[in-house]
């Protein structure tokens, strides 16, 4: 903005300079010969130049793709080197072939005459072909589309195959037998970079070049879109084989995944680990860590003639080899669970060959694993993901004995995984490998409570500090090219997807040195070590030793033993349970009956008042007559309910001590709400602290009963918040994954989210009212510490539920109400003992994960250096 403000006073001056640049240069004199009219300028050359026709051709002997303009007496208009007789000479560094000169008796820069239409004869050879060894070629460059007269070298021993002749001149031929078009190496590199960085399609890229050439009439420029598609595939194949070293040994061909980059920081025996790694490293340190996920945007349409498809790199990159994979799918039978994430896309579409892709990536750095990306046929079935995971575990993982597999449905996928592998002819695993299944932290919030301790990354030794969701971040840029690849041939799509995954890994590779993971790990230890040590010091040593042994046993055998990380006490008593208990005790304690029901009615009226106030706030500024009538009817109905509530207290004096002492006149004057709207009318309840001192004497004795009911009300609200927040995380995840144009779920998901959010706000407000009532009732400090203030950030699922170990939260990671459901004195001792056990175990796990993270980062620094040294040596 500061720059724009500085620019504004200079705007007119800038415009003057730009207009001056459009005037005739050098008074129309040629700056080279000085004899001819210099009406030609070049937009591509540095500085201002004016040439005559012949001098312009000579000046561009080695720059055939510059953009020229010709002064027409009023302004500069586009012209081409072709118009001025330029000939592109091949085979002698841009100079004419001496044999051609001798045969044709032409001067080196003979003017062949301008053509009225530059592209009039580009589709075939002209008369110059036979007489002078010249050809008309369309050449596509990054600055536009050009037609040039090309002179072939006629020297003895010169390259006779014209496609090779062009290739040696850094012009890639569009065909082999009789090339009439060529692409510069520069434009092919530009296209591949544009496609990778800007997700530009070949059609858009070529349309840009046509407009560069003629912005007014781009349709007059020859269409070489089809040729660009074909040549760019070949160029990509050649470049990759050179980059990965296969061009230097003609007898060596790339195997599965050999044209792919992988992560330099992940441990890989024989590449970046020392030869003594088995003896010097802990097993958890070199454990493979993979994250697995599906993407339903990367679809592929069925081909009309699949038998005509030609593959250049099948299985050489990240996509698996098509033949063996198809055989595996045909011979396998689905054993998918009923998980909603699986079934949501488990629908065959008649026009689609693939409904999406499944991939495996390293969980710590987000690099796609070579030869481990598969197509889905009907949905994210286990047969698909098994193939991806098995291939990933074999890349390169010699003798690594354990693997962490993070998958959003790992709790179901892992149950019969080994059985499926053993029963398949096409699946295999490294010998004696131990699989540790886990669920990413975001996805885990949508699972049932039992999955949390058994599949949480927080409780897996060697997991370090990762969220298991890094693959989600890779899909966002990937999805931008999916529409373009959707209608490609099978092999072309595979090459394009491979290229983008290769580029994603390349970006990770070149930026890995700037990653701040080391400093983050130091800070993580600082944030978790203090709370863990303080909690340890405050607890009984015998309990600590017992809990530590249980944690070690759970880490070794896992399964149900991991349930020690979760509170298993019965949930806090609900309002209904408290009401039953209080009602049963009414007669035995004070001989009164009906007071509890009366208090509950007061709480319900209070909620109704809040609902009415919310409805009134939602009315427009100028409500209609029907809207006003409806609100007034609700007011009257609620006011009648309030009056009846008060009359109940007056009518049954036995339940309200002190009522008998009130005179009839005093009773009639108490609680007159005639002048107050129903939504703000005063209620005769202990927590309201009535303004009438006489009624205070009546309701104050019921303070303890209302306090117990308010606790139950608060517990009910927290329980409802648990459910509503869980529902919102599920709907939010579905909305994030769904493609609106395919699943038609965008609007419905938005409505569901709005509905759930309203419910969350309602439960939160009711909880806050119940807590405020407890304070007014004089609840002690222990009660108020159990029922803490509910803040807006406590209701954010993405942080409080799915990122339990988020940075900077010390020992309290989850919102308090996710951990504590009970504050009942009768359960306090047993409950608090388990509470301290679980919180100590979690505090220890957080500290352990950060300690592992620091150690991993320190070793990854060395492994990364050794990886680069290995690449240099090869």
Q: Is 523 inside any structural domain?
A: no
For residue 498, is pLDDT > 90?
A: yes
Cα–Cα distance between 501 and 481 in angstroms, integer? 11
Check whether residue 613 and residue 756 sit in a common domain: yes
Q: How far apart, in Å, are the Cα atoms of 857 and each of 266, 365, 514? A: 10, 11, 13
DSSP 8-state secondary structure symbol assigned to residue 273 = S
Cα–Cα distance between 325 and 332 in angstroms, integer? 11
Least confident window among 249-263, 569-583, 671-685: 569-583
Check whether residue 124 and residue 58 sit in a common domain: no
Q: Is 865 inside any structural domain?
A: no
**Helices 202-213 and 185-197, packing angle to 10 deg:** 130
Closest residue by Cα to residue 571 from 784, 785, 719: 719
Last residue of a domain, one of 790, 814, 840: 790
For residue 482, is pLDDT > 60?
A: yes
Check whether residue 714 and residue 743 sit in a common domain: yes
Tens-place pLDDT, residues 86-131: 999 988 888 888 887 655 444 433 443 333 344 444 444 444 454 4
Check whether residue 50 and residue 143 sit in a common domain: no
Cα–Cα distance between 292 and 392 in angstroms, integer? 10
Pairing label, strands 181-184, 134-141: parallel
Tens-place pLDDT, residues 195-205: 999 999 999 99
Tens-place pLDDT, residues 653-662: 545 555 445 4
Which pLDDT score, from 0 to 100, does residue 821 have? 43
Which pLDDT score, from 0 to 100, does residue 185 have? 97
Least confident window among 216-230, 323-337, 739-753, 799-813: 799-813
Token couple for 733: 């995840």
CB 850 within 8 A of CB 524: yes
CB 373 within 8 A of CB 357: yes
Q: Is 453 inside any structural domain?
A: no
The residue length of the chain stands at 874
For residue 697, is pLDDT > 60?
A: no
Look at the chain and report how many structural domains it folds into. Answer: 3
Which pLDDT score, from 0 to 100, does residue 98 have? 84
DSSP 8-state secondary structure symbol assigned to residue 368 = B
Check whether residue 75 and residue 92 sit in a common domain: no
Which pLDDT score, from 0 to 100, does residue 662 have? 45
pTM exceeds cut of 0.85? no
Compare 747 and 758 and report the one with higher pLDDT: 758
Structural domain of 604: 572-790
Check whether residue 68 and residue 127 sit in a common domain: no
Phi and psi at residue 70, to the nearest 5°: -120, 130
Check whether residue 13 and residue 140 sit in a common domain: no
Tens-place pLDDT, residues 308-332: 999 999 999 999 999 999 999 988 7
User: What pLDDT band is residue 418 in, cutting at 50, 70 and 90?
Assistant: very high
Percentage of residues in the chain having pLDDT higher than 90: 49
Q: How many CA atoms lie within 13 A of 26 on its CB side?
A: 20
Q: Is the dihedral of CA 82, 86, 89, 92 positive or negative?
A: negative
Check whether residue 72 and residue 92 sit in a common domain: no
Token couple for 84: 């001025």
Token couple for 226: 């089809």
Check whether residue 681 and residue 764 sit in a common domain: yes
Q: How far apart, in Å, are the Cα atoms of 616 and each of 612, 641, 713? A: 6, 19, 25
Q: Is 118 inside any structural domain?
A: yes
Last residue of a domain, one of 746, 767, 790: 790
Tens-place pLDDT, residues 794-835: 887 544 333 433 333 333 454 566 544 433 333 344 655 776
Best-predicted range by mean pLDDT among 407-416, 611-620, 685-694? 407-416
Q: Is 635 inside any structural domain?
A: yes
User: What pLDDT band is residue 648 in, cutting at 50, 70 and 90?
Assistant: confident
Within the chain, what is the greatest distance between any pair of CA atoms? 134
For residue 862, is pLDDT > 80?
A: yes
Compare 42 and 446 and report the one with higher pLDDT: 42
Check whether residue 164 and residue 130 sit in a common domain: yes
User: What pLDDT band is residue 537 in, cutting at 50, 70 and 90?
Assistant: confident
Q: Is 852 inside any structural domain?
A: no
CB 439 within 8 A of CB 469: no
Which pLDDT score, from 0 to 100, does residue 801 have? 35
CB 490 within 8 A of CB 352: no
Last residue of a domain, one of 219, 243, 267: 243
Compare 420 and 398 and report the one with higher pLDDT: 420
For residue 423, is pLDDT > 70?
A: yes
Least confident window among 122-136, 157-171, 633-647, 755-769: 122-136
Which pLDDT score, from 0 to 100, does residue 670 have? 44
User: What pLDDT band is residue 223 in, cutting at 50, 70 and 90?
Assistant: very high
- The full 3-state SS of 452-486, as one line of letters, equals HHHHCHHHCCCCCCCCCCHHHHHHHHHHCCHHHHC
Which pLDDT score, from 0 to 100, does residue 590 have? 46
Q: Is 750 inside any structural domain?
A: yes
Token couple for 474: 């890779």
DSSP 8-state secondary structure symbol assigned to residue 8 = G
Q: How many CA atoms lie within 13 A of 419 on its CB side?
A: 7
User: What pLDDT band is residue 784 in, cutting at 50, 70 and 90?
Assistant: confident
Cα–Cα distance between 254 and 317 in angstroms, integer? 10
Which pLDDT score, from 0 to 100, does residue 94 have? 83
Cα–Cα distance between 694 and 660 in angstroms, integer? 11
Token couple for 663: 């005179």
Check whether residue 74 and residue 142 sit in a common domain: no
Q: Is 265 inside any structural domain?
A: no
Cα–Cα distance between 483 and 481 in angstroms, integer? 6
For residue 704, is pLDDT > 50?
A: yes
Cα–Cα distance between 556 and 460 in angstroms, integer? 10
Check whether residue 36 and residue 156 sit in a common domain: no
Which pLDDT score, from 0 to 100, does residue 601 have? 87
Place of tokens 């308010």: 710
């Amino acid at each position: 903005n500061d720059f724009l403000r500085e620019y504004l006073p200079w705007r007119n001056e800038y415009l003057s300079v730009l207009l001056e640049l459009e005037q005739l240069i050098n008074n129309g004199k040629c700056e080279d010969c000085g004899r001819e009219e210099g009406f030609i300028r070049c937009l591509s050359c540095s500085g201002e130049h004016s040439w005559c026709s012949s001098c312009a051709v000579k000046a561009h002997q080695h720059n055939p793709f510059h953009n020229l303009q010709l002064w027409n007496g009023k302004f500069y208009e586009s012209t081409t080197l072709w118009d001025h007789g330029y000939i592109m000479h091949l085979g002698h560094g841009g100079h004419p072939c001496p044999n051609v000169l001798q045969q044709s008796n032409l001067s080196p820069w003979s003017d062949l005459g301008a053509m009225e239409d530059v592209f009039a004869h580009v589709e075939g050879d002209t008369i110059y072909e036979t007489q002078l060894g010249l050809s008309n070629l369309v050449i596509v460059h990054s600055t536009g589309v050009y037609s040039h007269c090309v002179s072939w070298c006629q020297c003895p021993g010169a390259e006779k195959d014209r496609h090779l002749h062009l290739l040696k001149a850094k012009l890639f031929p569009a065909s082999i037998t009789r090339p009439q078009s060529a692409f510069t190496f520069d434009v092919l590199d530009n296209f591949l970079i544009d496609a990778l960085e800007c997700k530009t399609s070949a059609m858009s890229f070529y349309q840009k070049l046509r407009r560069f050439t003629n912005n007014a009439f781009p349709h007059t420029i020859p269409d070489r879109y089809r040729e660009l598609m074909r040549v760019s595939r070949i160029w990509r194949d050649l470049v990759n084989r050179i980059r990965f070293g296969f061009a230097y040994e003609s007898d060596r061909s790339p195997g599965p995944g050999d044209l792919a980059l992988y992560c330099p920081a992940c441990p890989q025996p024989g590449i970046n680990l020392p030869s003594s790694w088995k003896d010097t490293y802990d097993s958890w340190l070199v454990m493979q860590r993979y994250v697995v996920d599906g993407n339903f945007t990367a679809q592929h349409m069925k081909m009309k003639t699949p038998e005509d498809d030609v593959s250049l790199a099948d299985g050489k990159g990240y996509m698996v080899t098509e033949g063996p994979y198809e055989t595996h799918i045909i011979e396998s039978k689905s054993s998918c669970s009923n998980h909603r994430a699986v079934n949501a896309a488990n629908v065959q579409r008649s026009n689609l060959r693939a409904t999406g892709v499944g991939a495996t990536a390293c969980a710590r750095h987000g690099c796609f694993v070579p030869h481990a990306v598969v197509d889905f046929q009907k949905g994210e079935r286990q047969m698909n993901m098994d193939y991806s995971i098995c291939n990933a575990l074999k890349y390169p993982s010699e003798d690594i004995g354990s693997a962490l597999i993070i998958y959003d449905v790992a709790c179901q996928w892992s149950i019969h995984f080994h059985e499926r592998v053993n029963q398949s002819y096409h699946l295999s695993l490294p010998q004696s490998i131990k699989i540790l299944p886990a669920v990413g932290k975001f996805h885990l919030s949508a699972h049932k409570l039992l999955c949390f301790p058994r599949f949480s990354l927080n409780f897996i030794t060697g997991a370090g500090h990762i969220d298991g969701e890094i693959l989600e971040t890779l899909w966002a840029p990937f999805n931008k090219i999916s529409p373009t690849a959707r209608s490609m041939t099978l092999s072309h799509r595979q090459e394009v997807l491979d290229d983008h995954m290769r580029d994603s890994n390349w970006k990770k590779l070149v930026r890995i040195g700037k990653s701040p993971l080391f400093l983050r790990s130091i800070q993580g230890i600082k944030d978790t070590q203090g709370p863990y040590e303080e909690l340890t010091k405050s607890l009984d040593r015998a309990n600590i030793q017992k809990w530590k042994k249980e944690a070690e046993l759970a880490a070794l055998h896992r399964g149900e033993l991991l349930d020690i990380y979760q509170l298993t006490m019965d949930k806090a008593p609900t309002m209904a349970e408290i009401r039953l208990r209080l009602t049963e005790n009414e007669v035995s304690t004070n001989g009164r009956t009906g007071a509890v029901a009366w208090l509950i009615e007061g709480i319900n009226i209070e909620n109704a008042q809040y609902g009415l106030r919310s409805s009134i706030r939602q009315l427009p500024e100028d409500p209609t007559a029907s809207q006003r009538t409806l609100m007034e009817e609700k007011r009257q109905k609620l006011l009648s309910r309030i009056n009846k509530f008060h009359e109940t207290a007056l009518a049954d004096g036995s339940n309200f001590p002190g009522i008998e002492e009130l005179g009839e006149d005093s009773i009639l004057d108490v609680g007159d709400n005639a002048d107050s709207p129903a939504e703000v009318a005063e209620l005769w309840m202990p927590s309201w602290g009535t303004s009438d001192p006489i009624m205070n004497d009546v309701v104050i004795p019921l303070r303890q009963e209302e306090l117990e009911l308010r606790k139950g009300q608060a517990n009910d609200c927290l329980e409802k918040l648990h459910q509503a927040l869980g529902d919102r995380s599920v709907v939010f995840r579905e909305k994030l994954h769904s493609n609106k144009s395919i699943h038609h779920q965008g609007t419905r998901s938005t409505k569901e989210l709005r509905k759930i959010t309203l419910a969350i706000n309602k439960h939160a407000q009711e909880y806050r009212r119940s807590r405020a009532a407890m304070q007014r009732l004089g609840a002690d400090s222990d009660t108020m510490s159990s029922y803490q203030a509910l803040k807006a950030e406590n209701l954010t699922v993405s942080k409080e539920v799915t990122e339990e170990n988020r940075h900077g939260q010390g020992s309290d990671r989850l919102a308090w109400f996710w951990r504590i459901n009970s504050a009942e004195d009768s359960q306090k001792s047993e409950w608090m003992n388990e509470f301290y056990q679980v919180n100590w175990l979690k505090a220890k796990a957080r500290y352990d994960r950060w300690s592992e993270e620091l150690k991993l980062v320190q070793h990854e620094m060395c492994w990364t250096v050794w990886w680069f040294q290995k690449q240099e040596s090869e």
